[in-house]
């Protein structure tokens, strides 16, 4: 693991990492969303190392990262003309587009689908690495399957140490949640995963956009990977309405259940409880997003038995935040002490 600065990525480190990618190895690198676990997207045996390192099911496709819009023709069958100006305006950035796949991309990258997802990251370390490698880099988030995506090098050391050839530590991820994914092969572009690039921003540039919120009752996954348990801490975590937080905490204290509250600065002031992990202020949902996955890992290493996370408004990036919270809590929302106790007892067994 090597430290590298985003302001001025060290050329020797980048060229070492690029060498590993070109020769079929794996490198964990920072992006502006979360850390990625990368390999040469054209090299099937290198890509298989990603699945192995993460214990990722083979039916879950990977995102291909490129350095420049000019590289698109190397990974997609056909560049959809009407989207060219859009690519130029949003990339590099936290948005991924799903397009028809080129034959040069091995089937294992797309899990046998005829579509490939592509993104140009804006993090300068990521961009320098892709450029220096000279090949597109397939990279999922650099966590073990089902765990929260890593947003700090320390998260990677917790579970990926010894499983890859190199780790680049570029500090904390700027957004802290994964990119927005939009399928543009259908007539109306469809959001498969909400992310830092918001639905409102998308509608401004794309016009009509489909977005079907994933919920417990339909449960229908929007992207292949969304069917899996995801982003989860190991300890039980429950979603709680802000107004019920105090009541459930008081109950836990009375019953001697060790509990941590994951909440905004504003909520923490209201509940006035010492065992709180503060995500940031509700006036800056990007800050809440940035600290979200770190809070799940903090819950796991705390002494508490259970976490309660508050609910947020689903405006702007709040939609992506709530998508991750819903998946992490398995859509289990509790607002009464009875329902909390019965769900918690079930999880405890
Ligand atoms: O921000 C990000 O997107 C990060 C960084 C590293 O770029 N990457 C990331 O990759 O989050 P991953 O593999 O953890 O999540 C990719 C999601 C999965 O749910 C996968 O099923 C979906 O994208 N996906 C990938 N290729 C797809 C395709 N061809 N069609 C539909 N969904 C696809
Ligand atoms: Mg992931």
Domains of the chain and any CATH numbers: 2-206 (3.90.870.10), 237-348 (3.40.50.11030)
Supply the pLDDT for residue 43. 98
Task: Name the more confident of 167 and 218.
Answer: 167
Supply the pLDDT for residue 52. 98
Q: For residue 223, what pLDDT band results from cuts at 50, 70 and 90?
A: confident
Question: What are all long-range contacts of 313-316, with beta carbons under 8 Å and residues at least 24 apart?
Answer: 314/213, 315/285, 316/198, 316/200, 316/285
**Exposure string for 163-191, b = 16+ CB within 10 A, e = fewer:** bbbbbbbbeebbbbbbbbbbbbeeeebbb
Can you tell me which atom of ligand 1 is nearest the CA of 65?
7
- In this predicted structure, the answer to whether residue 218 has a pLDDT above a threshold of 70 is no
Give the mutation target among 30, 32, 112, 117 for probing the ligand 1 site: most ligand atoms within 8 A of CB: 117
36 C-beta closer than 6 A to ligand 1: yes
Supply the pLDDT for residue 232. 83
Q: What is the mean pLDDT of residues 17-36?
A: 98
For ligand 1, the distance from its centroid to the CA atom of residue 116, given in whole angstroms, is 10
For the segment 162-191, what is each residue's pLDDT rounded down to a tens digit? 999 999 999 999 999 999 999 999 999 999
Can you tell me which atom of ligand 1 is nearest the CA of 94?
1
Q: Residue 48 burial (CB < 10 Å; 0-12/13-18/19+)? A: middle
Residue % of the chain over a pLDDT of 90: 91
151 C-beta closer than 6 A to ligand 1: no
Can you tell me which atom of ligand 1 is nearest the CA of 178?
1
For ligand 2, the distance from its centroid to the CA atom of residue 225, given in whole angstroms, is 8
Q: For residue 153, what pLDDT band results from cuts at 50, 70 and 90?
A: very high
H helix or E strand, kind and range, residue 340: helix 337-348
Instruction: Look at the chain and count its residues.
Output: 349
Lowest mean per-residue pLDDT among 23-32, 137-146, 214-223, 255-264: 214-223
Q: What is the mean pLDDT of residues 197-212?
A: 96
For ligand 2, the distance from its centroid to the CA atom of residue 277, given in whole angstroms, is 23
Lowest mean per-residue pLDDT among 38-52, 78-92, 224-238, 322-336: 224-238
CA distance 190 to 164: 34
CA distance 200 to 13: 39
- In this predicted structure, the answer to whether residue 90 has a pLDDT above a threshold of 70 is yes
Task: Give every CB contact of residue 125 below 8 A, 6+ residues apart in sequence.
Answer: 4, 6, 9, 14, 29, 30, 168, 170
Q: Determine the longest span between alpha carbons in the chain, in angstroms.
A: 63
CA distance 38 to 15: 15
- In this predicted structure, the answer to whether residue 226 has a pLDDT above a threshold of 80 is no
CA distance 46 to 178: 23
For ligand 2, the distance from its centroid to the CA atom of residue 142, given in whole angstroms, is 7
133 C-beta closer than 6 A to ligand 1: no
Supply the pLDDT for residue 217. 62
Q: Where are the beta strands (DSSP E) in the chain?
A: 2-3, 27-29, 36-40, 63-65, 95-100, 115-119, 137-138, 166-169, 180-183, 190-193, 210-211, 237-240, 259-263, 276-278, 306-310
Q: Which of 84, 108, 205, 90 is nearest to 99 (CA)?
A: 84
- In this predicted structure, the answer to whether residue 109 has a pLDDT above a threshold of 70 is yes
Chain centroid offset of residue 36 CA: 9
Give the mutation target among 27, 62, 108, 130 for probing the ligand 1 site: most ligand atoms within 8 A of CB: 62
Q: What is the mean pLDDT of residues 246-260?
A: 97
Q: For residue 338, what pLDDT band results from cuts at 50, 70 and 90?
A: very high
Q: Which of 81, 71, 84, 175 is nearest to 118 (CA)?
A: 71
- In this predicted structure, the answer to whether residue 340 has a pLDDT above a threshold of 90 is yes
- In this predicted structure, the answer to whether residue 334 has a pLDDT above a threshold of 60 is yes
Q: What is the mean pLDDT of residues 322-345?
A: 92
Q: For residue 209, what pLDDT band results from cuts at 50, 70 and 90?
A: very high
Report the SS3 class of residue 118. strand
295 C-beta closer than 6 A to ligand 1: no
139 C-beta closer than 6 A to ligand 1: yes
Q: What is the mean pLDDT of residues 256-265?
A: 98
Ligand nearest 224 Cα, by number? 1
Question: 123: left (phi > 0), else alpha (psi -120 to 50), else beta?
Answer: beta
pLDDT averaged over the chain? 95
Q: Which of 74, 61, 48 is nearest to 134 (CA)?
A: 74
Lowest mean per-residue pLDDT among 114-128, 160-174, 212-226: 212-226
96 C-beta closer than 6 A to ligand 1: yes
């Amino acid at each position: 693991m090597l430290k590298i600065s985003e302001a001025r990525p060290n050329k020797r480190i980048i060229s070492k990492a690029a060498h590993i990618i070109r020769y079929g190895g794996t490198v964990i690198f920072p992006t502006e969303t979360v850390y990625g676990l990368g390999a040469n997207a054209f090299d099937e045996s290198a890509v298989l190392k990603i699945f192995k390192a993460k214990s990722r099911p083979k039916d879950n496709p990977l995102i291909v990262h490129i350095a420049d819009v000019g590289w698109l023709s190397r990974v997609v069958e056909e560049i959809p003309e009407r989207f060219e100006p859009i690519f130029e305006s949003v990339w590099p950035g936290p948005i991924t587009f799903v397009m028809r796949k080129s034959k040069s991309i091995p089937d294992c990258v797309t899990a046998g689908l005829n579509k490939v997802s592509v993104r140009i990251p804006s993090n300068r370390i990521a961009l320098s690495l892709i450029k220096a490698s000279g090949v597109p880099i397939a990279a999922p988030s650099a966590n073990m399957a089902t765990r929260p995506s890593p947003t700090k090098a320390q998260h990677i050391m917790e579970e990926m140490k010894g499983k890859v050839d190199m780790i680049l530590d570029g500090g904390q991820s700027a957004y802290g949640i994964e990119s927005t994914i939009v399928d543009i092969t259908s007539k109306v572009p469809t959001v498969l995963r909400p992310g830092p690039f918001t639905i409102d921003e998308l509608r401004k540039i794309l016009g009509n956009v489909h977005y079907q919120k994933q919920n417990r009752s339909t449960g229908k996954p929007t992207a292949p990977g969304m069917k899996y348990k995801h982003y989860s801490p190991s300890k039980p975590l429950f979603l709680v309405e802000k107004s019920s937080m105090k009541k459930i905490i008081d109950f836990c204290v009375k019953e001697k259940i060790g509990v941590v509250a994951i909440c905004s600065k504003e909520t923490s002031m209201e509940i006035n409880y010492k065992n709180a992990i503060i995500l940031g202020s509700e006036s800056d949902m990007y800050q809440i997003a940035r600290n979200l996955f770190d809070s799940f890992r903090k819950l796991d290493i705390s002494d508490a038995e259970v976490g309660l996370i508050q609910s947020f408004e689903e405006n702007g990036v709040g939609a992506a935040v709530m998508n991750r919270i819903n998946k992490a809590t398995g859509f289990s929302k509790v607002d009464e002490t009875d329902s909390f106790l019965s769900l918690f007892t079930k999880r405890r067994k």
